[in-house]
Amino acid sequence: MIENSFNRRGFLKVLGWGGATVALSGCGNTSVEDGREFVTSYVQTADYIIPSIGTYFNSTCAQCDAGCGIMGRVREGRVLKLEGNPKSSINNGKMCGLGQAGVQAHYNPDRIREPLLRNGDKGEAIPWGKALELINEKIGGVKAENIAFLTGGVSGHVKALLKNYLDALGSGHHYVYEAVAPSIMRAANRKTYGVEMPRLRLDKAKVVVSFGADFLGAWISPVHFSQQYARFRKADNGERGVLVQVESKMTLTGANADRWLAIRPGTEGILALGLINALAAAGLSVPGDVAAVVREYTTDRVSKDTGVSAEHIGRLAALLKERSPSLVIAGSAAEGYAHGSQNATAIALLNQVLGNVGKTVEAPSSIPFPQMAPSTGNRFALQSLNDNMAQDKVKVLFSYGVNPVFTAPASMKLKENLKKVPFKVVFAHYMDETALEADLVLPLNSALEDWATVMPEYVAEGAQLNIQQPLMEKLYPGTLGMGDILLALLKQRRPDEYKGYEDFYSYLRSAMVSNKGALGGSTTDDDTFWDATLSHGVVKLVSTPVNMSGNVSAKGLVVPGPFAEDSAYPFHLIPAVSASLRDGRNANEPWLQESPDPLTTIVWDSWVEMHPKTAAKLGIVEGDIVEVASRSGAIKAQVYVFTGIHPDVISVPLGYGHEAMGRYAKGVGVNAFKILDPVFDKETGELAMHETRVKVSKAGRRVVIVKDEGPAGGNQMGRKIAVRVSSNKVNLSEEV
Amino acid sequence: MSITNLLENWSDFRQQHPSDDRPHREYKWAMSIDLDSCTGCNACSVACYAENNLPVVGKEKFAHGHSHHWIRIERYWDNDGREFADQGAQFLPMLCQHCESAPCETVCPVGATNHTADGLNSQVYNRCVGSRYCNANCPYKARYFNWYDYPTTDNVWPEPMNQQLNPDVTVRGKGVMEKCTFCVQRLTVAKSNARSAGRGVLDGEVQTACQQVCPTGAISFGNLVDPLAKVGKQWMTQQVELNKDKQAKDVKDVEEKAAKLRGYRILEELRTYPSVMYLEQLRESAI
């Protein structure tokens, strides 16, 4: 095997010199001769390597937080492709496009390759030793309360080390921030069910009504839900589940619904209560206090408020009554509005009345190692950090796994407040918007060359710990894993406790092996246990279902009426979370940029979605560049006109519009995060993502949209290419 | 060759598998795609990029129609004049249909595209001269031409992204036509392994990249000759026959209103005899 970039010419040089090399050794003619590179014969390859045969190693996907198990195909020391790990109960051997692009995060040409220290406007490469010493010195000079650690969702041993480091510093300021997390739903679930993340069993439901939850695209654990969806659509007995999606802007899930109901934004809670009323009228037994609350939500009134026709409300109520169990899910209807928590509670009440709790809404399992349980994030955490920075309370800031300069709305003035922090350390893969603001940038290993353990927030069955292991040698000697960095930092503070661990790998192995009894390895010796763990990639943990309360009270439930018209800003802006780009962290992976958006088929740019009626009213046609202005800012992008959106709504995808990060992300599209208005959910204080009101005006130019669909715009022109039939015409139980 | 001769001796000029006197022997690779399970998520397309060394062409070349997605998701709307797309979209993964009587094969001036004994429509890259007749003749628009030399084009595979390239698959140069191969590199390995073990390839032993990744399992792939293969059972249940241009369903639809079949092949009336069967998307009428 030839290591490093030993090229053909170099190889011929060695051959050409032949015997002369013996005499000339030490003269430095080739890198092989003076020992900087070496040639290994195939006769003595590393374990498992057979030239031209791929070997698979299990690990965990880090492209989003779902924690799917992956198998990396490794050939001649390079990881080539990722497949799903069939042993993981989350994804059972399947993957999504975002996960597939994980190799492009690893081999990305724009990765940072060595630690960079700010010197004026430039970053100066420094060795790791100096970087870590600098951190030690800066931390020594400030009070513990002035140190802040900002991270994305973390779990597993990295989280445990992080906590130990913060304890060692004597500071508890760990801010966990996720830009597009379902945090209002988590809070609402905690209130109604006593758990943040109950298990949803689409596969057991006969009807699924989703209020804007894009569970097939970008919501929580899409690959897992997609598999459940397949069983829901084609149950063993041949019964086909019915999906009804209620939302103001069509998501991928909405595009797969039997009935997609365009609802006036923010009125989802009203529809939920109206459905309870209609169900009560149809004879479903409804508790007295609930019946009293919903009595005034007559179908006529609900239809008028929500824009959903009385006919559809009636049919939906009839369907829910007739086919049980069903499942009602609150997605963006809860996340979006200042009354999001109320919407979520109303939707949970509907689930309760339908008797779904315990049937299709199941209790999750307890997590045996709470110190490794996932810390989920919210936007409120960023707000607190921002306030503290504004008041000069933060002297040293660490940032890991987030890009707040990109994802924070402009109204937060986060970038300005960051400048008040004297020393900012950013752990990063790319020079993204946040890394550009840092004083010290520490380059991380890619997820395919790093050790970690991951405990996903949503696990399908039981509790499990995922192993993330290197699938190949590091591409760059100058990068380091987060676990290794934390260990090095801990050695500065608590040398006696951690000096025994040479690196994070030895820490991880020792931590796992010493707990092997609880990790299913009580009867095996250490080496066998460890090898089996790495080989499986997932460790099943012994756990029991937690108690879930299922008594939603209608007491105090008030769902506000529809929004008042706003003549200055007549449209609601829905920032769309796409399956590929999510919050923008993967924008520098070209496969994702060139993967057409499923609904619009647009590539390599942002767009503004608009209903044909709205477009006609404004005199806009497809391709017009428009300015979308909110009270907090304005963006310009091309218009795409289609009928999967409510006429009162304008939608712009998130994740585009990077000003830095890399060649594939920079300058592509516009950043819709920036123009979000600071409106918050009243109960949780979370940013209400759909509350921004905007006005739209033509900016003069028109472009030809770069997209995959042809000029017919999705019309089959009478040809039978994609065919649709009514489900009562076929019998799925007779199919293979 | 006169047109009379061509028409009279049509079957001599068109390869049509299987015929009664020359059936497929060991293998006939075929696929079925359930459009009621397909969610249009695009995972198959990205997996194909990863497996088959497809170049990312960028915005400008994409606008010129130079994209290379061997499997792409076509998205159709069926609004019928209604205000909203209230029954969602119709997604259809479109790939080379590996036609048994492929219009692309007969027009190739150099025989670069031809039929294999396994029933694959194969493309021999080093024989292709880039006439693009095949592309013009493909009714499915499933062929992609290398207008540029992508390996040397900026930012297609910049160092170290070239290290991701699959060594089992050729990196195509300028002037060459390419298309879906049913992951022939995986088929070759599976066949070779099976032969070493003295048996045929078992069902499920080989998966195409798109099938392997599909989160809803909408894609089945296998050997139509194998009576145990799922794909063959699906074709049989749907009464879709490879060498017919009109299936039981088409007849039944007319005769009895409630035909329970939903398998069909796209543009079958062109007598291309595709190897990909689609299952119709379903929609509930009660809502």
**If pLDDT is split at 50, 70 and 90, which confidence band does A22 have?**
very low
Distance to chain A for B5, nearest Cα, Å: 32
pLDDT of residue A19: 38
**Beta strand A607-610 with A633-641: parallel, antiparallel or unpaired?**
parallel
pLDDT of residue A712: 84
pLDDT of residue B93: 97
**If pLDDT is split at 50, 70 and 90, which confidence band does A662 have?**
very high
pLDDT of residue A280: 95
pLDDT of residue B17: 58
Rounded average pLDDT over A19-29 = 44
pLDDT tens digits, one per residue of B86-113:
999 999 999 999 999 999 999 999 989 9
pLDDT of residue A92: 94
Long-range CB pairs of B243-247, under 8 A, 24+ apart, other chains included:
B243/B16, B243/B17, B243/B18, B243/B19, B243/B100, B243/B273, B245/B269, B245/B271, B245/B273
CB hemisphere CA count around A731 (13 angstroms): 6
pLDDT of residue A25: 42
A254 contacts in chain B (CB < 8 Å): 88
> Using an 8 Å Cβ cutoff, are B166 and B51 in contact?
yes
Rounded average pLDDT over A494-505 = 94
Q: Among all residues of chain B, which has the CA nearest to that of A311?
A: B287
Provide the token pair at A307: 């824009």
**If pLDDT is split at 50, 70 and 90, which confidence band does A279 have?**
very high
pLDDT tens digits, one per residue of B32-41:
999 999 999 9
pLDDT of residue B268: 92
Rounded average pLDDT over A264-272 = 95
Domains of chain B plus CATH, in order, are 38-279 (3.30.70.20)
For chain A, give every residue range classified as CATH 3.40.228.10.
183-362
For chain A, give every residue range classified as CATH 3.40.50.740.
114-178+377-444+481-503
pLDDT of residue A711: 82
Residue A315: is its pLDDT beyond 60? yes
Q: How far is residue B206's CA from residue B188's CA, in Å, rounded to a whole number?
A: 10
Q: How many CB atoms lie within 10 A of CB A233?
A: 25
Interface test with A, best of B60, B77, B220, B239 (most A CBs within 10 A): B77
> Using an 8 Å Cβ cutoff, are A111 and A443 in contact?
yes
Rounded average pLDDT over A319-326 = 95
Q: Is the pTM of this model over 0.90?
A: yes
For chain A, give every residue range classified as CATH 3.30.200.210.
54-107+449-478+515-546
**If pLDDT is split at 50, 70 and 90, which confidence band does A385 have?**
very high
pLDDT of residue A29: 65
Residue B124: is its pLDDT beyond 60? yes
**Closest residue to A643, CB basis, from B47, B56, B85:** B85
CATH architecture for residues A54-107+449-478+515-546: 2-Layer Sandwich (3.30)
For chain A, give every residue range classified as CATH 2.40.40.20.
571-702
Residue B80: is its pLDDT beyond 80? yes
Rounded average pLDDT over B242-260 = 73
Residue B24: is its pLDDT beyond 80? no
A102 contacts in chain B (CB < 8 Å): none
End-to-end CA separation in angstroms for chain B:
59
Which among A499, A396, A349 has a CA at the least distance from the CA of A143? A396
Residue A24: is its pLDDT beyond 50? no
| pLDDT-above-70 percentage for chain A | 94
Rounded average pLDDT over B133-138 = 96
Note the Cα A519 to chain centre separation in Å. Answer: 27
Domain A183-362: state its class: alpha beta
pLDDT tens digits, one per residue of A101-125:
999 999 999 999 999 999 998 999 9
- State whether B283 and A715 contact (CB < 8 Å): no
| pLDDT-above-90 percentage for chain A | 77
The sign of the torsion formed by the CA atoms of A414, A416, A419, A420 equals: negative
Q: How far is residue A640's CA from residue B17's CA, in Å, rounded to a whole number?
A: 45
Computed over every residue of chain A, the mean pLDDT equals 91
Note the Cα B170 to chain centre separation in Å. Answer: 19
**If pLDDT is split at 50, 70 and 90, which confidence band does A518 have?**
confident
Phi and psi angles of residue A420, each rounded to the nearest 5 degrees, phi first = -80, -10
What secondary structure letter does DSSP report for B268? Answer: G
Interface test with B, best of A108, A215, A256, A604 (most B CBs within 10 A): A256
pLDDT of residue A542: 83
Give the lowest-confidence range in A104-108, A327-331, B201-205, B258-262: B258-262
Provide the token pair at A597: 């958006």
Rounded average pLDDT over A67-82 = 94
**If pLDDT is split at 50, 70 and 90, which confidence band does A45 have?**
low
More confident residue, A4 or A119: A119
More confident residue, A2 or A551: A551
Q: How far is residue A325's CA from residue A331's CA, in Å, rounded to a whole number?
A: 20
pLDDT of residue B215: 97
Residue A586: is its pLDDT beyond 70? yes
pLDDT tens digits, one per residue of A472-486:
999 999 999 999 999
More confident residue, A301 or A36: A301
A209 burial type by CB count under 10 A (0-12 exposed, 13-18 middle, 19+ buried): buried
CATH, domain A571-702, list 1.25.10.10, 2.40.40.20, 1.20.58.760, 3.10.20.600: 2.40.40.20
B167 contacts in chain A (CB < 8 Å): 52, 75-76, 80
**If pLDDT is split at 50, 70 and 90, which confidence band does A41 have?**
low
pLDDT tens digits, one per residue of B255-278:
565 468 899 999 999 999 999 999
**Closest residue to B284, CB basis, from A245, A258, A595:** A258
**Closest residue to B89, CB basis, from A222, A255, A316:** A255
Residue A554: is its pLDDT beyond 80? no
Fold that domain A114-178+377-444+481-503 belongs to in CATH = Rossmann fold (3.40.50)
Q: Among all residues of chain B, which has the CA nearest to that of A320?
A: B287
